[in-house]
Amino acid sequence: MDFQVVVLAGGNSKKLVPLVSKEVPKALLPVANRPVLSYVLEQLEASNLKDVIVVVEGQESALLVGPWISSAYVDRLHVEVAAVPEDVGTAGALRAIAPHLTAKDILVVSGDLVSDVPIGAVAAAHRRNDAVLTAMLCSSPVSGPSDSGSSSGKDKTKKSGHYNIIGLDPSKQFLLYIAAGADVEKDTRIQKSILRSVGQMEIRSDLMDAHMYAFKRSVLQQVLDRKDMFLSLKQDVLPYLVRSQLKSEILLNGATQAEESGNEKANSQKNHVLLSEILANASLPSFHELALGPYGSGHVRRTHKCCVYIASGSKYCARLNSIQAFMDINRDVIGEANRLSGYSLSAHNNIIHPSAELGSKTTVGPHCMLGEGSQMGDKCSVKRSVIGRHCRIGSNVKVVNSVVMNHVTIGDGCSVQGSVICSNGQLQERAILRDCQVGAGFVVTAGSEYKGESLARKEK
Amino acid sequence: MDPRRATRAVIDPKVRQVGFFTAEPDPITITSSPIRNPLSPVMIPPPRQPSESVVRTIVSPHRRDSAVPVGSYNASSYSEFLQATSNTTTSPPISEDLPLVSPGRPINDNSSRAGKIAAAASFPGVIGFDMSGPKAATVLAGGLTTVSVVVNLPPGMSEKGGGGASIEVQNDRPVSLKPLKEKTSKAERRALQEAQRAAKGAAKAGGGKTPTAISGVVTSANVKPTKATKSPSQRNDNASVVASEKKGGDRPLEKDRKKDVPQPRMQYDDMSRVEKAKRRSVVKHTEVRNRVELFRHLPQYEHGTQLPDLESKFFQLDPMHPAVYKVGLQYLSGHISGGNARCIAMLHAFHEAINDYSTPLERTLARDLTAKISSYVSFLTECRPLSISMGNAIRFLKNRIAKLPLTLSESEAKATLQSDIDRFINEKIILADKAIVLHAVTKIRDGDVLLTYGSSSAVEMILLHAHELGKQFRVIVVDSRPKLEGQPLLRRLVQKGLSCTYTNINAVSYIMHEVTRVFLGASSVLSNGTVYSRVGTACVAMVAHAFGAPVLVCCEAYKFHERVQLDSICFNELGDSDAISKVRGREDINYLDDWANSENLQLLNLVYDATPSDYISMIVTDYGMVG
């Protein structure tokens, strides 16, 4: 269908420290014991998109991500991994791989997206409207666990950064305004020209930008070339395109058309104009055409279209861009959105690998996951948690609302609530953790008690 | 009113040949080239073969008795048929002509059905094929990609069901033709031809009913059941061919007659056929529950469910060209409407598709491209029923493909076709519109009050041109819900400085007394002079007729169709019934909101209507004006 897919897999996001480290880049963070990147790749595979360019920030991360992809997706996907220097931003990353982009349209997907929104729908909406940019929006996820768990104060601070302010036209097809909620302090400016031509703008803050965009390649490359200050797709490129949609500075097909018809005879050029007029008159006029006002004849001002695809509420869509989101997604993927994980639930609504060993009187509640080769002692209780592969958990351990990665050792009598314990972490006897993050290989000493802390080994 | 009605009763049934009809710019209709897949613009040519038809035919036991010669006869005479010059109208090839249509079809949707077929591959027929036909296996391995091997298995299986060596030929047929030609020696072919001739004689003697084991009749009869389940459209073809096969001598005549008669359309009140069509279709349709009794035979779907479904399949539909897909989406979402625009958009999409087309190995461009275009067309039909103008354009294109000289290289052929498409757009639409404008402008005088209904591109051009010429006239734009197409037209006219009046169709009888000319557009003009156009046109024309205002219908000649239609019922299109029950922007008067599911409410949103020729004073075409 003449689409090229670019997955921006990121590098070591600072927001996710101590979960990410040199050994585990963001793309490989486990969600239900699968790297988060696999969700995007599998979604692409399901959509029959087999040619993918994965862009990773940092050479070291690329060296970790590349081999994983080639081992997991050999014979399934044709993936090229490109490493870009850190801190070039998403726009910079696209700039770096621009020579490899050849298709008519480019689909840019964030590597931390966990969703089951049909990718084809975004692409189709893009094509149907002949848009320059189509952004996928989904309803913002409810942050924080629904029942007990993390502190509510934290939720609020997290949430304020993630909601977007989005202006839509009445048909909910066109994007008129977009800003990150954090950038908007008290007031914001909306262009009069857009408002005037649309007549009515709907401003919503309950939608989240899912970081899945379809771009017209020629336009994207022009913007990236001309505006070399642009760093981020979301913060620079997107608002720029939305802002300038009625006074477009970019050359659309119009340029090529003019060249073509220039070579032809004047007569046929006239026919061409007539033809495009027939087509334009027959199609439903969007506000772009109406914006020309009573004087415009359609060829004076240039416009381009920025469209949105709003995912239906029944679809799951979340981005792993914070520790809280990491916990939420892990919980959802084995819970309500378990169709994403690809595992089938047991009768008890949980997923326990056959090779896992449970001690006597140990209970694993619904919406839990126990990885391959993990052992649990007696009288343990696991609720709404994910436990990775080859973990050893002693007796009388309580794990609630937590994520325990691979090869973690938890001593007897520990209690873990709302926490993340990274690979090779070690909890000695009777440690009590609440809302903590334990970095890779960190050892929590016996009997210690932590609350809301981030525990990690000091670098070097 | 009464006296006229009496006269109408006399007039109507008579088929009127409107003057220019002999000069119909579509010589295609009469040709009988063997490859042409006749496509009436209103039919849904369903590409999909319901998977169960494969299964069903496998188990039918009597297939076995059709022994080796049958299959090989089929193939060898087929290859002979290939050798023959392109335009054979002699009797034998027609039965071979039939299977030809099929190979392209299954391939188009192979990706989605690969699973089913793979499952079907475990049938004994396939095993028999593997063991008994080693030669065939090597041929297949040589010339094919894996996908098409999988896909091409079922026809052979379904026809023979483990019937030994004959399978090899059946399988080869859609795959590769040339190796086959080399394989069968001349003597063999001759022998088979003899056998076939003898068999046919025997068949004719026996009333054409008894299935003699080695006769060609059996072959065609064997083909028939598998095909018949495949599609209603082909069923018709098959029936005609089988029938003519039996009659022998008068076949060409029979065939011609078949071509003249418009193909029966899919009747949507026939539940079993609808089910079959549904299984094949790419676009998922949910039928509206409460349909108006009189219009049950027309497709009516719940709007709003198709688009998301089709969109989500965007990348799965591999064989569909992106440009075609885009146009289909735009039809479905109502982005493009209007006969000319839809036709142009479709032709542009085909233009692009041909540009990206490359002939697969061991296929000829003419056949493969025709099949491809057919699959595109069926997709577009599922998105929205084709307009008659589009049907004519498709016919033109297919005819051009069929007429391509075999000596042409692929790139030359593609370039020829593309220039043909461009020429069609230019001559039949653009220049035709210009000619219409020049003709019609002579009918506009200073001081005229012109009435137009809806939004017609031709009428708009006429009005603008007359304005440019400095004629002093006034325009009344009559509009109707739910599409309100007149508003954009009005907007453009006012922008250009014409003085306009805008009214809704319910006021047409009040405003008509001041009108001096009525200009209407048309979706199609039928051979009895009936104008088939946007719903409401008939009403406007009748009111104008009653007031004595001349009605001029502007219609490009490529929109003419040889069909005869007396009412708006037997062929029409049903729009979204929600569109008439809801009023946008007026939440306060949406009384019908949740009534759609009520048993005793049926909503009818007709898209077209037929205006009898009595109410039309003149038809303006690119060839002149016909009164």
| Predicted confidence (pLDDT) at residue B401 exceeds the cutoff of 70 | yes
pLDDT of A423 reads: 87
3-state SS, residue A40: helix
Task: Evaluate if residue A132 carries a pLDDT over 80.
Answer: yes
B365-383 and B93-108 are packed helices; what angle lies between their axes, rounded to 10 degrees?
Answer: 60
Q: Residue A329 — pLDDT band, cuts 50, 70, 90?
A: confident
Q: Which residues neighbour A36 within 8 Å (Cβ) at sequence distance 6 or greater?
A: A26, A27, A28, A29, A30, A111, A112, A114, A320, A329
Facing residue for B315 by CB, picked from A119, A268, A281: A119
Give yes or no for a contact between B445 and B471, defined as CB atoms under 8 angstroms apart: yes
Are the beta carbons of B181 and B65 closer than 8 angstroms?
no
What is the overall mean pLDDT for chain B? 67
Per-residue pLDDT, B619: 93
Q: Sorting pLDDT into bands at 50, 70 and 90, what band is A384?
A: confident
Residues of A with CB under 8 A from a CB of B: 1-3, 47-49, 104, 118-121, 123-125, 127-130, 268, 271, 274-275, 278-279, 281-285, 294, 312
Write the CB contacts of B260 (distance below 8 Å, at least 6 apart in sequence): B29, B562
State pTM to two decimals.
0.66
Note whether B333 contacts A121, CB cutoff 8 Å. no
B602: how many CB neighbours lie within 10 A of its CB? 16
Of A299, A276, A281, nearest to B493 by C-alpha is A281
Its CATH architecture, for the domain B271-429, is Up-down Bundle (1.20)
B242 part of contact set with chain A, CB < 8 Å: no
What pLDDT, in 10s, does the model give residues A4-25?
889 988 777 777 877 887 778 8
B310 to A119: CB separation less than 8 angstroms, yes or no:
no
Q: Checking DSSP bridges between strand B608-611 and strand B531-534, what pairing results, if any? A: antiparallel
DSSP single-letter state for residue A449: E
Domain ranges within chain B, ordered by starting residue:
271-429, 444-572+607-626
Residue B97 has pLDDT above 70, yes or no: no
User: φ, ψ for residue B351 (rounded to 5)?
Assistant: -55, -50
Q: Inform me whether the C-beta atom of residue B460 falls under 8 Å from chain A C-beta atoms.
A: yes
User: CB contact, 8 Å: B387 with chain A?
Assistant: no
Is-contact B255 B244, C-beta < 8 A?
yes
Residue B520's H or E segment, with its range, is strand B517-521
Q: Mark yes or no for CB contact B335/A279 under 8 Å.
A: no
In this predicted model, which residue has the larger pLDDT, A76 or A416? A416
Cα(B159)–Cα(B168) distance, rounded to whole angstroms?
Answer: 12
A1–B426 CB contact, under 8 Å:
no
Instruction: State the DSSP string of B457-498.
Output: HHHHHHHHHHHHTT--EEEEEEE-TTT-THHHHHHHHHHTT-
Cα–Cα distance for residue pair B172/B99, rounded to 1 Å: 12
Which chain A residues are closer than 8 Å to B311 by Cβ? 118, 120-121, 124-125, 128
Peptide bond into B550 cis (omega under 30): no
Does pLDDT of A163 surpass 80? no
Whether A290 shows a pLDDT value over 60: the answer reads no
Q: Which of A392, A436, A391 minimizes the C-alpha distance to A418?
A: A436
Alpha-carbon span A91 to A216, nearest angstrom = 15
ipTM over 0.85: no
Rounded alpha-carbon distances, angstroms, from residue B465 to B437, B439, B458, B470 = 7, 11, 11, 9
For B318-374, write each residue's pLDDT tens digit: 667 888 888 888 888 877 888 888 899 899 999 999 988 888 888 888 888 888 899
3-state secondary structure B387-425: CHHHHHHHHHHHHHHHCCCCCCCHHHHHHHHHHHHHHHH
Are B326 and A275 a contacting pair at CB < 8 A? no
Q: Select B444-572+607-626's CATH number: 3.40.50.1100, 3.40.50.1470, 3.40.50.10470, 3.40.50.11540.
A: 3.40.50.10470
Planar angle of CA A406, A412, A417, nearest 5 degrees = 65
B418 compared with B126, residue with greater pLDDT = B418
pLDDT of B521 reads 92
Axis crossing angle, helix B134-143 with helix B124-132, rounded to the nearest 10: 90
pLDDT band at B438 (very low <50, low <70, confident <90, very high): very high
User: In the predicted model, what is the mean pLDDT of residues A166-186?
Assistant: 79
Distance from the Cα of A135 to chain B's closest Cα (Å) equals: 15
- Give pLDDT, residue A242: 85
User: Which residues on chain B are in Cβ contact (under 8 Å) with A104?
Assistant: 322
Q: Which residues contact A71 (CB under 8 A, 6 or more apart)?
A: none
Give the tens place of pLDDT for each residue, B503-545.
999 999 999 999 999 999 999 999 998 999 999 999 999 999 9
Neighbouring-strand partners of residue A403? A386, A420
For residue A98, pLDDT over 90 is answered with no
Test A281 with B330 for CB contact under 8 angstroms: no
Mean per-residue pLDDT, A392-419: 90
Please compute the mean of the pLDDT values over residues B586-603 and round it to a whole number: 71
Contact A282 B342 (CB under 8 A): yes
Write the DSSP string, A345-412. P-TTS-EE-TT-B--TT-EE-SS-EE-TT-EE-TT-EEES-EE-TT-EE-SS-EEES-EE-TT-EE-T
Residue-wise pLDDT tens digits, A417-459: 988 888 888 888 888 988 888 888 888 888 888 888 888 876 5
- Report the residue of chain A nearest B307, measured CA to CA: A121
Assess B406–A contact: CB distance below 8 Å, yes or no: no
Higher pLDDT, B82 or B203: B203
What domains can you pick out in chain A, each with its CATH number? 3-245+304-310 (3.90.550.10), 344-455 (2.160.10.10)
Distance of CA B604 to the CA centre of its chain: 24
- Of B143-157, B287-301, B479-493, least confident by mean pLDDT is B143-157
Torsion of CA A92, A93, A94, A95, to 10 degrees: 50
**Nearest by CB: B457 against A1, A125, A282:** A282
Residue B21 has pLDDT above 60, yes or no: no
**What is the per-residue pLDDT for B318?**
64
A395 has pLDDT over 80: yes
Distance from CA of A214 to the nearest CA of B (A): 13
Task: Give residue B74's region: left, alpha or beta (phi > 0; psi -120 to 50).
Answer: alpha
Percent of chain B with pLDDT over 70: 50
Does the pLDDT of residue A141 top 70, yes or no? no
pLDDT of the residue at B539? 93
Phi, psi of B374 (to 5 degrees): -60, -40
Q: What does the pLDDT read at residue B203?
A: 56
Helix, strand or coil, per DSSP, at residue A108? strand
Which of A1, A3, A281 shows the shortest C-beta gap to B488?
A: A281
CA separation for the pair A250, A221 (Å, rounded):
10
B291 has pLDDT over 60 = yes
CA A90, CA A112: separation in Å to the nearest integer? 13
Q: How confident is the model at residue A61 (pLDDT cuts 50, 70, 90)?
A: confident
Average pLDDT, integer, range B618-627: 87
Work out the pLDDT band at B280, boundaries 50, 70, 90: low
Per-residue pLDDT, A458: 66
pLDDT for position B447: 92
pLDDT of residue B626 exceeding 90: no
Say yes or no for a CB contact (<8 Å) between A124 and B341: no
Amino acid occupying residue B377: V
What pLDDT is stored for residue B295 in this prediction? Answer: 78
**Structure confidence by residue, pLDDT tens digits, B232-269:** 444 444 444 444 344 444 444 444 444 444 455 666 66
Question: Is residue A47's pLDDT more than 60?
Answer: yes
- Cβ–Cβ < 8 Å for B505, B540: yes
Task: Average the pLDDT over each of A116-130, B44-58, B426-440 and give the range with the smallest value.
Answer: B44-58
Q: Which of B523, B538, B607 minimizes the C-alpha distance to B573?
A: B607
Q: Among A359, A401, A355, which residue's Cα sits nearest to residue A380?
A: A359
C-alpha distances in Å from residue A317, one per residue of A145, B49, B134, B159: 16, 36, 52, 49
Q: Answer positive or negative: Cα dihedral of A416, A419, A421, A425.
A: negative
**How many whole angstroms separate alpha carbon B567 and alpha carbon B3?**
20
* CA nearest neighbour of A352 among A364, A340, A360, A341: A364
Pick the more confident residue, B473 or A47. Answer: B473
- Shortest CB distance from B313 goes to which of A120, A268, A282? A120
- Measure the CA–CA gap between B165 and A226, rounded to whole angstroms: 67
pLDDT at B532: 92
**Using CA atoms, how far apart are residues A30 and A255, in angstroms rounded to an integer?**
47
Q: What is the rounded distance in angstroms from the CA atom of residue B530 to the CA atom of residue B567?
A: 9
- Closest chain A residue to the Cα of B336, Cα to Cα: A283
pLDDT for res B223:
39
Whether A329 and A31 have beta carbons less than 8 Å apart is answered as: yes
- Taking CA atoms, B544 is separated from A47, B485, B486, B517, B597, in Å, by 55, 20, 18, 9, 38
Q: Which of B309, B304, B294, B302 is nearest to B597 (CA)?
A: B302
Average pLDDT over residues B90-114: 38
Q: What is the mean pLDDT of residues B220-231?
A: 40
Cα Rg of chain B, angstroms: 27
Lowest-confidence region among A139-153, B280-294, B448-462: A139-153
The confidence band for B546, taking pLDDT boundaries of 50, 70 and 90, is: very high
- For residue A104, the model assigns a pLDDT of 85
Q: Out of A264-278, A368-382, B19-33, which region has the weakest mean confidence (pLDDT)?
A: B19-33
Q: Taking the CA atoms of B511, B515, B521 and B525 in sequence, report the sign of the dihedral they define.
A: positive
Q: Over range B605-623, report the average pLDDT.
A: 91
Mean pLDDT of B202-229: 42
> What is the average pLDDT across B34-55?
42
pLDDT digits (tens, 9 = 90+) for B465-502: 999 999 999 999 999 988 888 888 898 899 889 999 99
d(CA B275, CA B296): 15
Q: pLDDT for B60-95, tens place per residue?
A: 444 444 433 433 344 444 444 444 433 433 333 333
The CA-atom distances, in angstroms, between B133 and each of A439, B125, B140, B422 are 64, 11, 11, 48
How far apart CA B161 and CA B55 sit, in angstroms, is 10
Query: Mean pLDDT for chain A?
Result: 79
For residue A275, give the chain B residue with the closest CA. B430
Q: What are the angstrom distances between the C-alpha of A324 and each of A141, A330, B80, B207?
A: 11, 10, 73, 82
